Structure 1
Amino acid sequence: MAKSEEKEESSSSSEGGFKMKKELTLIDGVAIIVGVIVGSGIFVSPKGVLNYSGSMGMALIVWVMSGILSMLGALCYAELGTMIPKSGGDYAYIMEAFGPLPAFLYLWVALFILVPTGNAITAMTFAQYIIQPFWGDCKAPVEAVRLLAAATICGLTLINCYNVKWVTRVTDTFTATKIFALLIIVAAGFYHLFTGHWENFHAPMDGTNWGPSHLALSFYNGLFSYSGWNYLNYVTEELKNPYRNLPRAICISMPLVTIIYVVTNIAYFAVLTRNDILASDAVAITFGDRMLGVASFLMPVFVACATFGSLNGAIFASSRLFFVGARDGHLPRAISLIDVKRLTPVPSLLFMCLITLALLIVSDVYVLINYVQFVEALFITISVLGLLYMRYTMPNVSRPIKVNYILPITFFVICVFLVIFPCYESPVEVGVATAIILLGIPVYMVTIWWQNKPKWLQKLFDNFNDSCAKLFMCIPEQVYEKGL
């Protein structure tokens, strides 16, 4: 047994109480990162990268650079995650570096935009691909898609409430399925390429959009497909030996995803022309119709599996963000409760489920993607700035992983670029997203900063928290040293 494992087991044995278990292994960590990242994006969104980059050559460069950029960010987050080994990801890091208000603002937008919007879109995509074959050439009714999406969200929420091991089994199974699907695309595409069909790669840089705003937006679309590289940081407290397994999981999963994404896009470009891709609503489906013949029906099934697995991982990881936020007093106390039998954050999972279901009712939920990308890039920038800031203010804090200064500085500069330039190209979306963030300030002042609340209001909050504890058979997390 490795010394780090012995140390962790010794620490665990000396610590008692009532808390969530460390059940995630290195393989589970890799599966969570790969499972969350490889959702519908690589099957659906390559046309977004191509549209803004303008050429196949530049699109491939964007895919490679997006993977490298995500890897840089993941390595920075490995240092943050081992220096601050708490679940909650960006929320925990921003809290440590800049205090409660900026951390609350991240929690605020994550609660109402980042997490539920991403989950709602993923669920809608899954439902669309599952239900469309039953309607043939006609478009499936929106009500049927929403109903199936809602049922999927509720079902996965129940699995997450019941048992963490069930969650990891679902994640591992569907991660393997989606990787298999991408390998089929790569095999078919490279077979087509090596049988002499190189015509799509003649003059690959023709039509490139070199404008900074277009490049930034093409990176937004590429990075959207890599979204989820920081999700393992949300569940650090449930990862076995996080000092070792967190950076290892990142170093295994990010190069793997980047290689798979790049070769998958080469396969797409080998078979489909630029106009074919730009005219397609789902590139993988168009590819399957062109190359797989009678087996083309498998591609919608694979896309559905990819989105299902991604949604499962996102629900698991993001529920820990709200759990930690409530534990720190930034959300109602009820959300920080743990099921007494299963040791899962049931109220947090159910709370997130309700918000996601509410977003399914919104007819233009997909419009929120533009807001999501700006907000996510902004707060990742703040988190990395926090890493640099804590290098200066907390030089003696233990850092099991310490990356070279060049990495966080490079990543920070690129993130600033991605935040600033879309302001010129999409000012309305940026303005709305900024307004939503600023709206969190008065909410913070009333609910958290204001200490001397009226007794009737405080009693109302206490009654709500106590009712949730009784209803869901949950109690607060309790940690103590044995023998005290």
Structure 2
Amino acid sequence: MAKVTSTEGLTPKVMDVGGEEGDNGEEASREGVHLKKELSLMNGVAIIVGVIVGSGIFVSPSLALKYSGSKGMALLVWVLSGFLSMIGALCYAELGTMIPKSGGDYAYIGEAFGALPSFLYLWVALFILVPTGNAITALTFAQNILKPLWPACEPPADAVSLIAAFITCLLTLINCYNVKWVTRLQDSFTLAKILALLVTFFASLWYLFSGHTENLQSMMTGTNTSPSAIAIAFYTGLFSYSGWNYLNFVTEELKEPYRNLPRAICISMPVVTLVYALTNVAYFAVLTNDEIRSSEAVAVTFSEKILGVMSWIMPLFVALCTFGSLNGAIYASSRLFFVGARNGHLPLAISLIDVKRLTPVPSLIFMCLVTLLLLMSNNVESLIVCVTAVEALFTLCSVSGLLWMRYSRPDLVRPIRVSLVLPIAFSIICIFLVVLSCFTHPVELGIGILFIVLGVPVYGVFIKWQNKPAWLDHACNSFTTTCSKLFLCVPEDAKDL
């Protein structure tokens, strides 16, 4: 078992991974501190399914129908979004086994195009992609867990924000304490959310067999043929599938990544696509177009119409889904910022590891604080468009990196080698989606691109500039030392405190 050094007072002693005292200080000194390989194949499947199936399936159906125009086109958008995500995930399977590093897009973009593009991804992920997604998920959890207490109206905004902040802090604490607890939670809630969505589908079957088939007639009536509107409909669908690349963030903690990463992807993506399709069929069978478009929480509207006095159970199911999704997102995203800090693109303090629990505590706490700042966001549609557009740009960059490295670095070992048709088709579709969205939501897309551009001077000042003033270097070192002492953390591979 790997061993690490710890301190109590001024006397160092050797601790093993579980925190028990050992007697081989020489072995500890030789091996240093590392994140442990705790994730099995099923843990990997649970992370992907658990992160994907969150707030999106309960927030996006109304927006997808709004822009697609008809239930038939909306259902097609959901299925094709899953298919597109599957193509992207397979491309990432090649990237993840070719570059077996944690950090996902950050690692792949860095390998393909260098430090600046990878920093820009980290910059945008830090302030837009990850915390916004986590904030939406936390707020969705809070709204649904409070809904049974305010059945006739919306829960108070302050109560929603308070509960969202509490659950974010609670899950951060669990992630700091023990990785096994995180994976057990993820496995349990992933199973619970799949069962909840299947209950939704079978309830709709009961409704249909009772003779109510009117809502599934003429499903293509009113289809919107505007390319820009269809692009936004795909954005709402793709937002609900976001998270398919999260397992790539934690490759270094996955057992047998060459085998388990692609297997986890190939198991989880078809499962999610099928579950999403069945859930939307359930919504469409029970609710009219107007009811879906006017609902901010389609699952709750569904339950009120079909479950009667038991309608309170659906907000509880939604809360379970979002709880598991937020847990997986916090776990995976914290590793992204850990890797970025380890590479010198974020403060060194974020790359420290707890010497007893072997978790990146400062990174988790930092991510929690940024998420808390965004919990007051309330325009979900604009957030979804901005986040998905920016994410599509960087996903395009990662897949383009796969194509570029096929040419520039043919010597790299590729345990998985996908057909060139897949990354080329994925890239073309991403380009069209981003370009077409300019016509309907130019402001949101402009804000995202502007924020990316702002990262360039930040990189020049804080990363590229080597001869910084002595006072700035001293302040950074003092901050790192303080965090190390406060959280009892050391840099990766450290052999002494």
Q: Under a length normalisation based on structure 2, what TM-score does the superposition of the two structures give?
A: 0.92
In the TM superposition, residue 98 of structure 1 has moved relative to its aligned partner by 0.4
The residue number in structure 2 matching 1:327 is 342
Distance 1:369 1:264 in 2: 20
Answering whether residue 200 of structure 2 is matched by residue 189 of structure 1, we say no
Report what 2:80 is aligned to. Answer: 65
Residue 435 (structure 2) aligned to one of 412, 416, 420: 420
Partner residue in 2 for 1:456: 471
Alignment of 1:359 onto 2:374: yes
For 1:387, what is the secondary structure of its paired residue? helix
Aligned equivalent of 1:343: 358
Structure 1 length as normaliser, TM-score? 0.94
Cα distance, 1:448 vs structure 2 = 0.4
Residues in 1 aligned to 2:237 and 2:292: alpha-carbon distance in whole angstroms: 15
Kindly state the Cα deviation for residue 252 of structure 1 after the two structures are TM-superposed.
0.3
* 1:193 partner amino acid: L
Q: Which amino acid aligns with 2:284?
A: F
Alignment equivalent of 2:275, drawn from 245, 260, 283: 260
2:64 paired residue number: 49
1:20 to 2:35 alignment: yes
The residue aligned with 1:289 is 304
Counterparts of 2:309 and 2:150 in 1: how far apart (Å)?
19
Indicate the SS of the match to 2:220.
coil
Query: Aligned pair count?
Result: 467
Contact 1:359/1:365 (8 A) holds in 2: no
Shift of 1:368: 2.9
SS at match of 1:425: coil
RMSD (CA atoms): 1.5
The answer to which of 269-278 and 395-404 deviates more is: 269-278
Aligned equivalent of 1:106: 121
Mapped pair 1:155 → 2:170: yes
Question: Does the 8 Å contact 1:121/1:366 carry over to 2?
Answer: no
Corresponding residue for 2:323?
308
In the alignment, the residues of structure 2 paired with residue 283 and residue 303 of structure 1 have an alpha-carbon distance, to the nearest angstrom, of 11
Judge conservation of contact 1:117–1:365 (CA < 8 Å) in 2: no
- What residue number does 2:182 align with? 167
Residue 471 (structure 1) aligns with: 486
1:199 aligns with 2:214: yes
Residues 239, 384 of structure 2: 8 Å contact kept: no
Aligned to 2:390: 375
Contact 2:55-2:136 at 8 Å conserved across structures: no
Asked if 1:29 corresponds to 2:44, the answer is: yes
Distance 1:363 1:208 in 2: 29
Equivalence for 1:4: none
1:467 alignment partner, SS class: helix
How far 1:362 sits from its partner (Å)? 5.2
**Aligned with 2:128: secondary structure?**
helix
Relative distance call for 1:366 and 1:476 in structure 2 (3 A) is farther
| 1:384 to 2:399 alignment | yes
Q: Give secondary structure in 1 for the equivalent of 2:374.
A: helix
The letter of the residue matching 2:268 is: S
Cα deviation 1:237-285 (Å, max 9, x = unaligned): 0000000000000000000010111111111111111111112111111
Kindly state the Cα deviation for residue 367 of structure 1 after the two structures are TM-superposed.
4.0
Gapped regions of structure 1 (runs ≥ 5): 1-12
